[in-house]
A and B are shown apart, each in its own frame.
Chain A
Amino acid sequence: MSESGDWVALGLSLRLAAVTVVLLLLVGTPLAWWLARTSWRGRFLVEAVVALPLVLPPTVLGFYLLVALGPRGPVGGLLEALGGRSLAFTFEGLVIGSMLYSLPFVVQPLQTAFHGVGGRPLEVAATLGAGPRDRFLTVAVPLARRGFLTAAVLGFAHTLGEFGVVLLIGGNLPGETRVASIAIYDHVETLEYGKAGILSAVLLGLSLFLLLVVYGWGGRGRRERVGP
């Protein structure tokens, strides 16, 4: 393994995390909003499914995805029948796997934040003439902004660190599915501890930095709310 191969793997990890987080925010925001606002009794069912990746071994998730996305799986088969290609061992497949794997890390902070906004500001906005969409965009989202930051950072960092799912559905194709965590594993396998150490240090620093952003920003927010 060359040095440049490690940087490619790291770049791929960052790209995967970024794409995953953007897509997850798009999908997770309405889901979290619905979970925070609904009075439906079956809500706990959805919450349990969303939380599943927290406890499921990543290899289990990866296994099912591999079966589903592969050429003989329902999704992969459908795609091939439509003239596409199977998603197993592709970047797109990795994105889908990462989205499922990191779903709770995005949905849960958002749901908590939306819940914290409470009903009152939305009722106020309604009496001032704001419709549901308007209320969501101008009141709920700005008031839940800390939840968005937490969701984005946790989703990003968690995707960066995934291993089991990637290994099963992505394999180890340089430039396509060989992400940083896989590269570290490879280095250790071939006893290249130096290279593994460098890459590990980079990931450690990056993760710590991201968490510092979350907690630093939160501290400032708390002081703001108290006021002078």
Chain B
Amino acid sequence: MSVRVQLVLERPGFRLEVDTGFPGRGVSGLFGPSGSGKTTLLRAIAGLERGARGRVEVGGETWQDGSRFLPPHRRRVGFVFQEPSLFPHLRVRGNLAYAERRAGRGGWALPREQVLAVLGIESLLDRFPGQLSLGEQQRVAMARALASRPHLLLLDEPLASLDAPRKDEILPLLAGLQESLRIPVLHVSHSPEEMLALADEIFLLEDGRIRASGSVAAMAGWLEGGKGSGAVVLRGRRRAAGAAGGEATFLTEWGPVLLPEGEVRGREAVRFLLRPEETSLLVGEGARSSVDHLLDGTVESLEEPGATTARVRVRLAGEVLPVPVPKAFLETHPLRPGDPVRVQLHRLRVLPGGVGKAPGPAAPPAPEERP
């Protein structure tokens, strides 16, 4: 059920040329500056750009190739536009039914009740779009896209038209929905925060071409302060045996991490951002501080970029984190590749994504603190 896209679209002063595959499950983030062709690419995949030539294959179905061009209504696609775009003449119920009726048997990419509950729109069913806030409208638009039994979900900056509080309200809900979807999702955004919180794979689009792609962990550096910044994203799942004292233990690829319950608010899965400058290196057996974010790793290599600060590249599970250390430290503690070390994390920035226990509009998750 993978997505294969090979498209060329030419406009005066702009050329979109993409030849790539997207994973058949999970969220592929299309990231790039405005004007880079993100929206055009989504529209071309949906069949809304008649001028696009090439191939589009979704889960073994050919939507487009040299000899065939399926019109958008024959492509099983769910599209959420930047503005909510609900049908103003239909109630919320009618907007959902419009999609349901045309989806044929089965309907809904996820159980209807689940979508309505997670997006918190059960109480809005009898309202007209004009009576809803922008945030509410966009939640309905997402539900409507899921109601059309899509084989591919395309989200074109669905949060861009919302203000910051609304965004923080919807982001976790979106993450929760996307986590449980069995279909591929292409999510367009120019917000690094949104990408880090939601995407599994990230595709960097520039001037109509895909410049780089990789897992969110590998691409975090690109998104956070440029390619060389070394930032990584960690994913953690709550361990069944909860820790005492208002803290929860999350198991990451790199080992267990303790997080204050106040920051994770009952979520089952979290992502956090780690910046190298917010870590430090501990060497030796006795190295055990009162702070608990300690991860075991091995030295990969040494870098000495600055005059006073060097970097020790530490391998932690699959990823390598460049930890800054004072040069003097390396003189007193000579390190070689393969040496065991510990990395202390001074700050974990919890990203707003992840799966909540029971998110809803009644108790929307408050915005994360961003120091």
Contacts and interface: CB of A to CB of B under 8 A. Distances in A.
Interface stretch (B96-104, B118-126, B290-298): B96-104
Given A126-B72, A128-B99, A128-B148, A139 B87 contact: yes
A145 B90 CA distance: 13
B32 interface: no
B130 A225 contact: yes
A190 interface: no
B46 interface: yes
Contact of B73 (A121, A131, A226): A131
Contacts of B48: 123, 126-127
B88 A225 contact: yes
B98 A127 contact: no
Size band of the interface chain A makes with B: 20 to 34
Given A123-B48, A123-B72, A128-B102, A226 B89 contact: no
A139 B90 CA distance: 10
Contacts of A129: 73, 76, 99, 102-103, 148
Interface string B277-296: 00000000000000000000
A30 interface: no
Contact of A226 (B75, B102, B130): B130
B130 A121 contact: no
B20 interface: no
Size band of the interface chain B makes with A: 20 to 34
Contacts of B145: 127-128
Nearest to A228: B131
A125 interface: yes
Contact of A142 (B46, B89, B128): B89
A130 interface: yes
A152 B98 CA distance: 28
B77 interface: yes
A128 B131 contact: no
Interface of B: 46-48, 71-73, 75-79, 81, 83, 85, 87-89, 98-99, 102-103, 128, 130-131, 144-145, 148
Q: Which 3 A-B pairs have the closest CB atoms?
A: A129-B102, A227-B130, A127-B79
